[in-house]
């Protein structure tokens, strides 16, 4: 009898314990479901995406009162995605599962959405929060919170550019081609949109005096960082010059500036002023960035000067 | 012997259960601070509002950039300057606190912001989500998610109307 009592006690405590612990967790089938939902969204696998919702699911994006159906939400996503050349959530996302006081299971998600606009290659970054209620393995409600005005402003810029005079349009188009040439290490593409005697100054020091010196420098980056990528974060044009912020990323798996590969990743943010001629060809770049910061990320250290 | 084994088992469960401290709360001292914070915001009591933050608090509203409470306060005041009334309503308002895997206390808030724009008396409703880390009862990190597109669109409209009016006056 006592034995049964003890077993009963242990079982009760175990169950009570389990229930208590389960109100918050960061894993489990419901979390996996929402992870799958976002993976489907990123892969554009709408059939699989739609399957994860209950038929009667309600979707609320930036509002409480008027819900959308899953089909309507999908249409909205597709329309937005049509404007983009790529989109994804950055890797540093957070998921949590909670059970509310009313016993409902919610998956909360915090992430950083990033999309590149087709028209001008501009990268738009949106912090996003989703709160998703899951019941019997399906999403029954989704609430999304993010600032749409960021995207609207970016789209307005495109509209303004469309109304820009011819030369500005050419400069914008050529600027995009320069970014593509950098990303693809494409010397021919670079030469198409630059003047023969194109100049590059890095932090005030002359680095290239012509197309071949410029493309050699591009090649040097791609040799050191085979996955080298540059994105245009923002820019504005004035009097034939583009003032632009950029971000470079890459993994140093090849020799760089006569140094062996470090295997380390780098991400640097820089600023360039590009000057264009009256035909819209690039004639000069003045680039500014934290060279020491880049080298530090690769593991290089600065030594104090030696004593005399 | 069996009895001892069972007792040990029961004790183990009991201890492990003790260890499984609750990690989800719908009330807590931190949630009380969050409620007081919303109240201070509604009343425009910026001294109290500021006092809830640690001096080194980092705030990110709809961005990855981090700002100080004073910087965010300036931005909020700018946004609110165009309203004749504003505040979080009692409807659709939820608070919860979790203790995450890093043992950090985060208060999550979902609410409804309602405001009226002074220029044209237009009412705006904006759902807001805040997730805030607390240390020693103070807010040390805050991430806010809310859609300003409608607000911006109205401001642009008002601006456009003003330009037209100016042009008419000049004529």
CATH at residue B146? 3.10.450.50
Count Cβ atoms below 10 Å from residue B97 Cβ, excluding itself: 23
List the single residue in A6, A17, A149 with the smallest CB-CB distance to B152. A149
What CATH code would you report for A24-154?
A: 3.10.450.50
Q: Are A145 and B146 in contact (CB under 8 A)?
A: yes
CB contacts of B127 in chain A (<8 Å) are: 60, 62-64, 143, 145
Q: What domain count does chain B have?
A: 1
**ipTM, 2 decimals?**
0.86
> Which pLDDT score is estimated for A13?
53
Q: How many CA atoms lie within 13 A of A85 on its CB side?
A: 11
Give every strand in the sheet of A241-251, ordered side by side: A205-208, A194-202, A282-289, A265-276, A241-251, A229-238
Residue B7 maps to a domain? no
> Which pLDDT score is estimated for B91?
83
Domain A164-297 fold? Nuclear Transport Factor 2; Chain: A, (3.10.450)
Which ranges of B20-82 does DSSP label H, i.e. alpha helix? Answer: 29-43, 46-51, 69-81
Which of A13, A159, A245 would you mutate first to test chain B, the one with the most B CBs within 10 A?
A: A13
Residue B61: give the domain boundaries: 23-170
CB contacts of B153 in chain A (<8 Å) are: 152
Residue B57 maps to a domain? yes
Residue B8 maps to a domain? no
CB contacts of B13 in chain A (<8 Å) are: 10, 13-14, 17
> Which pLDDT score is estimated for A8?
59
Q: Are B78 and B148 in contact (CB under 8 A)?
A: no
Q: Which two tokens stand for residue A50?
A: 């739609």
Residue B15 maps to a domain? no
List the single residue in B6, B17, B143 with the smallest CB-CB distance to A6. B6
Nearest CA in chain A to B17: A17
B13 CA: distance to closest CA in chain A (Å): 6
Q: How many CA atoms lie within 13 A of B163 on its CB side?
A: 6
Nearest CA in chain A to B155: A149
List the single residue in B7, B20, B92 with the smallest CB-CB distance to A6. B7
A146 CA: distance to closest CA in chain B (Å): 5
pLDDT, averaged per 10 consecutive residues of chain A (308 residues), comes to 58 53 88 97 97 97 94 96 95 94 95 92 93 98 97 87 82 94 96 95 95 96 96 88 95 93 96 92 96 94 84
List the single residue in A13, A149, A152 with the smallest CB-CB distance to B17. A13
Give A39's contacts (C-beta < 8 A, 6+ positions apart).
A45
Give A43's contacts (C-beta < 8 A, 6+ positions apart).
none
Q: Which residues of chain B have pLDDT under 70?
A: 1-20, 167, 169-171
> Which pLDDT score is estimated for A15?
52
> Which pLDDT score is estimated for B101?
92
In chain B, which residues touch A (CB < 8 A)?
A: 2-3, 6-7, 9-10, 13-14, 16-17, 20, 22-24, 26, 60, 62-64, 91-92, 96, 98-101, 108, 110, 112, 125-129, 131, 143, 145-149, 151-153
A90 touches chain B (CB under 8 A): no
> Which pLDDT score is estimated for A4?
61
A127 CA: distance to closest CA in chain B (Å): 6
Nearest of A126, A96, A121 to residue A180 by alpha carbon = A121
CA pair distance A244, A9, nearest whole angstrom? 68
CB contacts of B147 in chain A (<8 Å) are: 62, 145-149
> Structure pTM?
0.69
Secondary structure class of B130 (helix, strand, coil) = strand
Residue B17 maps to a domain? no
């Amino acid at each position: 009898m006592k034995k049964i009592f003890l077993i009963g006690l242990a079982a009760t405590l175990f169950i009570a314990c389990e229930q208590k612990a389960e109100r918050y967790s960061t894993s489990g089938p419901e979390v996996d479901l929402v992870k799958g939902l976002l993976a489907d969204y990123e892969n554009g696998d709408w059939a699989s995406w739609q399957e994860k919702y209950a038929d009667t699911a309600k979707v609320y994006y930036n509002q409480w009162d008027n819900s959308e159906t899953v089909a309507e939400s999908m249409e909205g996503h597709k329309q937005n995605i049509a404007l983009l050349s790529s989109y994804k959530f950055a890797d540093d996302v957070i998921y949590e599962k909670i059970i509310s006081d009313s016993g409902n299971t919610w998956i909360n998600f915090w992430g950083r959405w990033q999309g590149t606009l087709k028209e001008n290659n501009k990268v738009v970054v949106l912090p996003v929060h989703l709160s998703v209620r899951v019941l019997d393995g399906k999403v029954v409600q989704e609430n999304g919170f993010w600032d749409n005005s960021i995207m609207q402003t970016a789209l307005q810029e495109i509209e303004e550019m469309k109304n820009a005079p011819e030369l500005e349009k050419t400069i914008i188009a050529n600027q995009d081609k320069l970014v593509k040439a950098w990303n693809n290490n494409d010397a021919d593409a670079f030469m198409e949109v630059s003047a023969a005697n194109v100049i590059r100054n890095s932090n005030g020091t002359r680095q290239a005096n012509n197309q071949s010196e410029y493309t050699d420098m591009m090649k040097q980056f791609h040799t050191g960082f085979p996955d080298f990528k540059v994105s245009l974060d923002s820019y504005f044009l004035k009097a034939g010059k583009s003032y632009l912020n950029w971000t470079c990323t890459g993994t140093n798996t090849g020799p760089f500036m006569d140094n062996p590969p470090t295997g380390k990743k780098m991400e640097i943010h820089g600023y360039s002023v590009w000057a264009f001629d009256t035909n819209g060809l690039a004639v000069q770049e003045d680039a500014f960035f934290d060279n020491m910061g880049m080298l530090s990320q690769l593991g290089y250290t600065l030594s104090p000067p030696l004593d005399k | 012997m069996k009895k001892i084994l069972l007792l040990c088992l029961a004790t183990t469960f009991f201890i492990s259960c003790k260890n499984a401290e609750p990690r989800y709360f719908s009330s807590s001292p931190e949630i009380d601070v969050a409620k007081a914070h919303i109240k201070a915001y509604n009343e425009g009591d910026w001294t109290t509002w500021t006092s809830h933050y640690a001096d080194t608090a980092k705030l990110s509203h709809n961005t990855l950039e981090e700002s100080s409470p004073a910087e965010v306060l300036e931005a909020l005041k700018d946004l609110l300057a165009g309203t004749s009334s504003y505040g979080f309503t009692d409807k659709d308002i939820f608070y919860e606190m979790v203790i995450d895997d890093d043992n950090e206390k985060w208060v999550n808030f979902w609410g409804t912001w309602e405001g009226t724009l002074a220029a044209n008396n237009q009412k705006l409703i904006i759902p807001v989500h805040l997730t805030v880390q607390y240390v020693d009862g103070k807010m040390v990190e805050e991430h806010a998610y809310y859609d300003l597109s409608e607000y911006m669109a109205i401001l642009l409209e008002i601006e456009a109307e003003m330009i037209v009016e100016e042009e008419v006056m000049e004529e």
